[in-house]
Amino acid sequence: MQKLVINGGIPLDGEMPLYGAKNSALPLLAASLLCGEETVLENCPRLTDVFAACRILTHTGCRCTMQEHTVSVRADAIVRSEIPESLMQEMRSSIVFLGALLGRTGACQVYYPGGCELGPRPIDLHLEALGRMGVQIVRQEGRLECSAPNGLHGAQIHLKFPSVGATENVMLAAVLAKGETVLCNAAREPEICDLADFLRKCGARISGDGESTIRIQGVSALKGCVHRIRPDRIAGLTYLCAGAITGGMVKLCGTSGVQMENVLPVLEQAGCRIDRTEHAVYLRAPRRLRAVSRLRTMPHPGFPTDVQAIMMAVMTLAKGVSVFEENIFENRYRHVDGLVQMGAEICVSGRVAVVSGVQELYGARVAATDLRGGAALVLAGLAARGTTEVRQIHHIDRGYEEMEQVLKGAGACISRRAQ
């Protein structure tokens, strides 16, 4: 067990690197199962969730190697289409292997990924959509036996909610299915477009990604490709917010900020100056941030739920009252206790959190309860007076590669220690 120890109060000043998106890397690794030739993913973040996805690939018989930030996968000899419960539980997003395994072998056995820190994690939309493509599903306790006795076929599918994971599973199952799949009310997140770009490079026929209706014409086989994973917009926004909360000046390298357009105006509204170039985003924070108007989390292109906790940390020190409304996950305010322990004034009622900005936060011993909530506590620690210890940082390591090194590079006083 490890913890992060932060001596707060230092305005960040410096450059921060950005790697590929976790939420792209995981479905892309699953997609590599569909290819008859080697696939190479560049700019792959070194995260515990990525390592878990590689273990799943290896378990199925793929040869999967990671060197620095490049992963190579050879899926020419799949020997297993079942994923044991222990591997499914290692990472909640393991469910995205369902569509890929079905697309590749026409049958698979997996386990429910179970609930998670953010509340229940149902997969009814995934299963309903795959059912329309000819997949028969037998549920036995936590186990799902899936098969398509007559092969997978294209279908007209309407998702009741634009679920990211369900959209990815349908895409993965449909690229090698017979005929056309039309997916309505699909998720529009940039990571969906990244997956579609990768699949197209491998020979898939997909159009409409990034819009509400995605059309997929099944093909008989996919070849390999080399693909560079898009920068992680959520990690990038986290680091920009670290600059904002500390009253600092930072340069985020490796992105033009094009996929951050639903959040950068919020930072500007708070008084930050943002400048963008083709390869970097610059942020200069004001002496004191201002509260922002009500932030409602929504599916893309709305305000991302993954940035809610992080922006809340920033607003704890802003002048005025900010209101957050969490509309995607039931249980996504677990970071509030830690922030309050550090002196924040936050009142939660159902899906609404009201933050009254304070002049100062104080260092405290707190624990990460989930990935983004953990990042929010680190940000608060960077701005707080005194020393903050953030425990349970395995949550943070799921989605941020060596966060403390990135922050140290911009002048933060932060170190990783045994808990």
Q: Looking at the annotation, which residues are catalytic?
A: 116
CB of 379 to ligand UD1, least distance (A): 18
Pairing of strands 273-276, 321-325: unpaired
Q: Give residue for tokens 């039309």.
A: 182
The whole-angstrom separation of Cα 92 and Cα 74 is 24
Q: Which is nearer to ligand UD1, 71 or 187 (CB)?
A: 187
Answer yes or no: are the C-beta atoms of 242 and 250 closer than 8 Å.
yes
Q: How far is the CB of 287 from ligand UD1 (least distance, A)?
A: 33
Tell me if 106 sits within 8 A of 99, measured CB to CB: no
Shortest distance, position 218 Cβ to ligand UD1, whole Å: 23
Q: How far is the CB of 35 from ligand UD1 (least distance, A)?
A: 20
Query: Of 323, 339, 324, 234, which is closest to residue 21 (Cα–Cα)?
Result: 234
- Are 354 and 333 in contact by the 8 Å Cβ rule? The answer is no
Residue 238 C-beta: closest distance to ligand UD1, Å: 13
Q: Which is nearer to ligand UD1, 238 or 305 (CB)?
A: 305
- For ligand UD1, which is the closer residue by CB, 189 or 389? 189
Nearest CB to ligand UD1, comparing residues 289 and 328: 328
Taking the least distance from each CB to ligand UD1, the nearer of 338 and 399 is: 399
Residue 195 to residues 168, 172, 215, 217, 315, Cα–Cα distance (Å): 8, 9, 14, 15, 33
3-state secondary structure of 303: strand
Q: Which residue is nearest to ligand UD1, using beta carbons?
A: 165
Name the minimum Å distance from CB 115 to ligand UD1.
Answer: 10
CB of 83 to ligand UD1, least distance (A): 16
3-state helix, strand and coil shares in percent for the chain, rounded to the nearest 5: 35, 30, 40
**What radius of gyration do the chain's Cα atoms show?**
21
Question: Which residues are paired to 136 by β-bridges?
Answer: 147
Residue type, 379: L
Q: How far apart are CA 80 and CA 82, in angstroms?
A: 6
Q: How far is CA 394 from the centre of its chain?
A: 15
Nearest to 175 by CA among 57, 27, 49: 27
Sign for the CA dihedral angle at 367, 372, 378, 379 comes to negative
Q: How far apart are CA 305 and CA 67, in angstroms?
A: 32
Task: Please tell me the distance from the alpha carbon of residue 213 to that of residue 88, in angstroms, as a whole number.
Answer: 30
Helix (H) or strand (E) holding 365: strand 365-367
Q: Closer to ligand UD1 by CB, 117 or 191: give it.
A: 191
Q: List contacts with ligand UD1 (CB under 6 A).
A: 23, 26, 93, 121-126, 161, 163-166, 187, 191, 305-306, 328-329
Judged by beta carbon, residue 88 or residue 123, the one nearer ligand UD1 is 123
